[in-house]
A and B are shown apart, each in its own frame.
Chain A
Amino acid sequence: MTHVHIVGAGIHPFGRHPRKTALELGVHAIREALGEAGLDWSSIQCVFGGSAAGGAIDALLPELGYTGVPTINVANGCATGGSSLLAACAAIQSGQYDLVLAVGFDKHERGAFNADPQALGLPKWYGESGMMLTTQFFAMKIRRYMHEHNISVETLGLVAEKAFENGVRAPHAWRREKIPLPAILAAPMVSDPLTKFMFCSPSEGGVALVLASAARMKSLRLSGPRLRAATIRSRLAGSFEVFSPALTVQRDPSPTVLAARAAFEAASVNPRDIDVAQIQDTESGAEIMHLAENGFCADGAQDELIAAGHTRLGGKLPVNTDGGCIACGEPIGASGLRQVYENVQQLRQRAEGRQVEGARLAYSHVYGAPGISAVTILEA
């Protein structure tokens, strides 16, 4: 099969940018990605991208140029970025194109996302009775997990503490100040057991990646990490996902488990081969559970691994080296691509201040409502 490489990666730093539109954040990221590869906008053959609240991909054209390029909008909740990348990769593997752009940008209001029950096929009373809040789902999922697998509240705090520490070192992160563990644990409770500093917040930002076939990369005299796997899976009938008024008694594996297995199989590698991982950390508990769901540890092993610094920079498997969603916030359309951007920096050995020495295989996992997971494995 055609090998696909990432030959350019650009980002508009995440955070709050009151004087910029979401489209401007997207344009900034695209120009940076093209600039890195020394390519003109006119050379891009197809664009896949998404923004939940910032406008259509087509609206980037007035700024970038009306080249007639096909623009395809991707909408897949928080997994939008991963989905755009998968589509771009498949478009190259199909043989139809050899130079494709994946882009995501967004700009959200402060506060939790205000989901509309009816848009998700749920009754209005579900929202009205106070049950349709994502923070509650994550809290209930980790509550049960802590009960079944003996995970401590302190471990939740350590995940957030690491996120802020790593954020200090990543120029594109939003929250770039250390927050000590006691302050994290003592912060106002949002959804028990998760405090304010354990959650990621909706934010603003943009990311663009230029993908090329191996042949095109060579003819352009470019280089870049190879996409060894890009997979996406949706939920099964019995998986426990956000916005579930009722569940079957029997649990099925989560979409993350399915996407991870498929990715490891496609890349013919094992979790222990991975040198650095970016894992969906909507909140601290998500990172803990996703470590196991992605195959990086057994259920219940996290307390010991995290206390021992296994997932910190310098640990055996550094996780969320740019601070993840907790330090970067989440602009929906860009979030999954931000993880891949960070992996590209790690594999190009230019993640200054947070470099995982000798990183060769990098993993990313993004999860979105109502139960979609996308995984990529990149090789230097």
Chain B
Amino acid sequence: MAHDAEFVPYAVGYVELGDLLIVESRIVAADIGALKIGMPMRLVRERLRRDPDGVEVITYAFSPEGA
């Protein structure tokens, strides 16, 4: 793993999906300092890395609604 790469702070949180389930997720936001508990969120995709063949590996993430 790239331990020498510069660390970029990222956000994680738990998102409640209706009254069904709570999932842990990366949170994508322009300003992670402005995130608040209880904010409405929507599902987005986030690029994690490229695999050795150059294919993009993506993951699910959430982002503040309307951001």
Contact = CB atoms under 8 A, between A and B. Distances in A.
Interface in A145-180: 147
Interface in B1-49: 10, 12-14, 16, 19-26, 37, 48
B14, B21, B24, B48 — most chain A CB neighbours (10 Å): B24
Nearest to A246: B23
Given A129-B26, A143-B37, 11 more contacts: A125-B59, A131-B25, A136-B12, A144-B37, A147-B37, A245-B24, A246-B22, A247-B21, A247-B22, A248-B21, A249-B19
B12 A248 contact: no
Interface in A244-263: 244-249
28 contacts: A128-B48, A129-B26, A129-B48, A129-B59, A130-B10, A130-B12, A130-B26, A131-B12, A131-B24, A131-B25, A131-B26, A140-B13, A143-B37, A144-B37, A147-B37, A245-B23, A245-B24, A246-B21, A246-B22, A246-B23, A246-B24, A247-B22, A247-B23, A247-B24, A248-B21, A248-B22, A249-B16, A249-B19
Interface residues of B, number: 16
Nearest to A141: B14
9 nearest A-B residue pairs (beta carbon): A247-B22, A147-B37, A129-B59, A246-B23, A245-B24, A131-B12, A136-B12, A249-B19, A131-B24
Contacts of A147: 37
B52 to A, nearest CB: 14
A125 B23 CA distance: 14
Interface in A116-133: 125, 128-131
Contacts of B19: 249
Interface of A: 125, 128-131, 136, 140, 143-144, 147, 244-249
Interface of B: 10, 12-14, 16, 19-26, 37, 48, 59
Interface of A, helix, strand, loop or mixed by DSSP: mixed
Contacts of A136: 12
Nearest to B37: A147
Nearest to B60: A129
Contacts of A131: 12, 24-26
Contacts of A247: 14, 21-24
A136 B26 CA distance: 11
Nearest to B17: A249
A246 B24 CA distance: 6
B12 A140 contact: yes
A21 B26 CA distance: 39
Contacts of B23: 245-247
Contacts of A129: 26, 48, 59
A147 B13 CA distance: 14
A194 to B, nearest CB: 13
Contacts of B14: 140, 247
A140, A144, A246 — most chain B CB neighbours (10 Å): A246
Nearest to B19: A249
B9 to A, nearest CB: 8
A147 B16 CA distance: 16
Nearest to A147: B37
Contacts of B13: 140
A144 B24 CA distance: 14
A125 B26 CA distance: 12
B12, B26, B37, B59 — most chain A CB neighbours (10 Å): B12
Nearest to B49: A128
Contacts of A125: 59
A90 B11 CA distance: 45
Contacts of B10: 130
Contacts of B37: 143-144, 147
Contacts of B22: 246-249
A44 B22 CA distance: 50
A249 B17 CA distance: 9
Contacts of A128: 48
